[in-house]
Amino acid sequence: MGLAYDFDIVTIVPKGDDLETSGSTGSDVKVVRARFRDIKTADALRGASPRFRRMFLDAGFTLDSHGGTESRGFYPLEDAAERDRILRRLFANIRSTQLTGEYCGAFDLRDFLTHIRSAKPGIGLPQSASLPTAPPAAAAQVKKHRRPVPGRIGFSLGLAVIVFVLLKYLAAAGATP
């Protein structure tokens, strides 16, 4: 199974030192970044070559992750404008960067772009929510204990060998069935 390329838009407020040197108040200084939900995806991007990684960083991605609450394939509707802006910068970086021969590691750019095309704004099921399922007792009643097909074949062959050996023994002893 491939990586989960879902990401959320997060607002990062610079620390107090950055605010003092810039001479502005904390209310108007906001940096918006795209942060992957899955740590394996962020690790894969961190493990890629520096040029490949820089392409994402320049577009507005971060190299850390967080466990988002949206389900796979969905992103919050309020993130749509910032998400579009970051993705436009990423596409411009992809066009301007020659990635031939760059090490991407486990991060698959083609899968990432496919995910971007298929992701939908809106409300999906939160990852912590699960679909209602039948109680375990009901599932046990519906499916009785059955041997798998190889088990049934093995049992049948074993029984046939026992019957064959028993018939041979009886034939050798002079008894006919």
Query: What's the confidence (pLDDT) of residue 77?
Result: 81
Cα(119)–Cα(73) distance, integer angstroms = 5
In the chain, where are the structural domains located?
A: 7-121, 136-172
Q: pLDDT (tens digit, 9 = 90+) per residue, 61-113? A: 988 887 665 577 788 888 888 889 999 999 898 888 877 777 888 888 888 88
Low-confidence ranges of the chain (pLDDT < 50): 17-24, 125-135, 139-140
pTM here is 0.59
What pLDDT score does 38 carry?
86
